[in-house]
């Protein structure tokens, strides 16, 4: 298998794992309070990152240690807000809806960049329109009421967009392994504080019941996939990579149907389709650039 094909297969695998993680999170939300779930998920991630660092210590760029730690602390706070809010929101909605609502960060990123003076392509406004219509069909019921979980999940997408913008800005200054390790430590500390403050006593039985969801999201979805993604995307065209990663929302809906037996109405399916089209168009390059 050539390196190019291998990298594309890896990106598809990451998108699949991330998509199915919505089902794991939704399953965990039914047995554990959000901060408790997120807390133990983070410790699985920290443990996995420790192993990755031990086996790859020769490849760590020590010269970038200081900047990596600094970025890990700052982005760790933002990542904590993004995933904690997402975990709270998914407790009140479905994995299928959560995956598509979360994916709106893809469109938010260039919009936020435009606020800071970066030029954006005209087709993005079409994406915004399609996304709004898609989210309306997906989230607003016949009585014009929006599920509180959908609103909370949408708020989490804002933090994901900010997280990505900052990584793009600071990415070249950081060592991936050090950055991810510090980021998950910060997330673990903050989630522990919130768990002890709001969700005591600790639900031991709930943790036992959710062990697979915790391990899946902490080991695979967080530590392994994020680390592989950073390394692989350095060798794959950014447009191809972003289009493949868009499939995360599709896999999320598929997992909700297959694992949790969630069923979307015809209107909601149309909303998902419009949202997905908007996400894909937003990732296509301009004709001149292409």
Q: How far apart are CA 229 and CA 120, in angstroms?
A: 25
167-226: pLDDT as tens digits: 877 767 788 888 889 999 999 999 999 999 999 998 999 999 999 999 999 999 988 888
Nearest to 231 by CA among 191, 180, 161: 180
In this predicted structure, what is the pLDDT of residue 236? 74
52-86: pLDDT as tens digits: 888 888 878 888 888 889 989 999 999 999 999 99
Range of the domain at 17: 3-283
Return the sign of the alpha-carbon dihedral for residues 72, 76, 82, 83.
Answer: positive
Residue 289 lies in a domain: no
Residue 288 lies in a domain: no
Residue 105 lies in a domain: yes
**How many independent structural domains does the chain possess?**
1
Residue 209 lies in a domain: yes
Give the global pTM: 0.89
Q: How far apart are CA 225 and CA 178, in angstroms?
A: 15
Please give the DSSP secondary-structure letter assigned to residue 287: T
């Amino acid at each position: 298998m050539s390196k190019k094909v291998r990298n594309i297969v890896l990106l598809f695998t990451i998108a699949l794992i991330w998509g199915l993680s919505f089902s794991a999170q939704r399953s965990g939300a039914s047995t554990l309070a959000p901060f408790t779930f997120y807390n133990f998920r983070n410790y699985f991630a920290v443990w996995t990152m420790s192993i990755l660092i031990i086996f790859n210590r020769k490849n760590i760029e020590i010269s970038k240690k200081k900047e990596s730690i600094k970025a890990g602390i700052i982005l760790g706070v933002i990542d904590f807000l993004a995933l904690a809010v997402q975990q709270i929101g998914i407790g009140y909605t479905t994995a299928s809806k959560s995956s598509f609502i979360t994916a709106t960060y893809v469109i938010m990123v260039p919009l936020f960049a435009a606020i800071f003076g970066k030029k954006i392509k005209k087709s993005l406004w079409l994406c915004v329109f399609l996304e709004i219509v898609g989210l309306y069909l997906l989230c607003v019921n016949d009585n014009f009421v929006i599920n509180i979980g959908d609103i909370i999940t949408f708020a989490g997408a804002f933090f994901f967009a900010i997280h990505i913008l900052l990584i793009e800005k600071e990415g070249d200054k950081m060592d991936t392994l050090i950055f991810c390790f510090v980021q998950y430590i910060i997330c673990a500390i903050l989630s522990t504080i919130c768990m002890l403050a709001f969700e005591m006593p600790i639900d031991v039985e709930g943790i036992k019941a959710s062990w697979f969801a915790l391990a899946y999201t902490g080991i695979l979805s967080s530590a392994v996939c994020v680390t592989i993604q950073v390394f692989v995307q350095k060798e794959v065209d950014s447009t191809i990579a972003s289009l493949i990663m868009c499939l995360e929302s599709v896999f999320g809906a598929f997992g909700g149907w297959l694992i949790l037996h969630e069923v979307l109405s015809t209107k909601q399916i149309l909303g998902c389709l419009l949202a997905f089209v908007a996400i894909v168009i937003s990732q296509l390059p301009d004709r001149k650039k292409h």
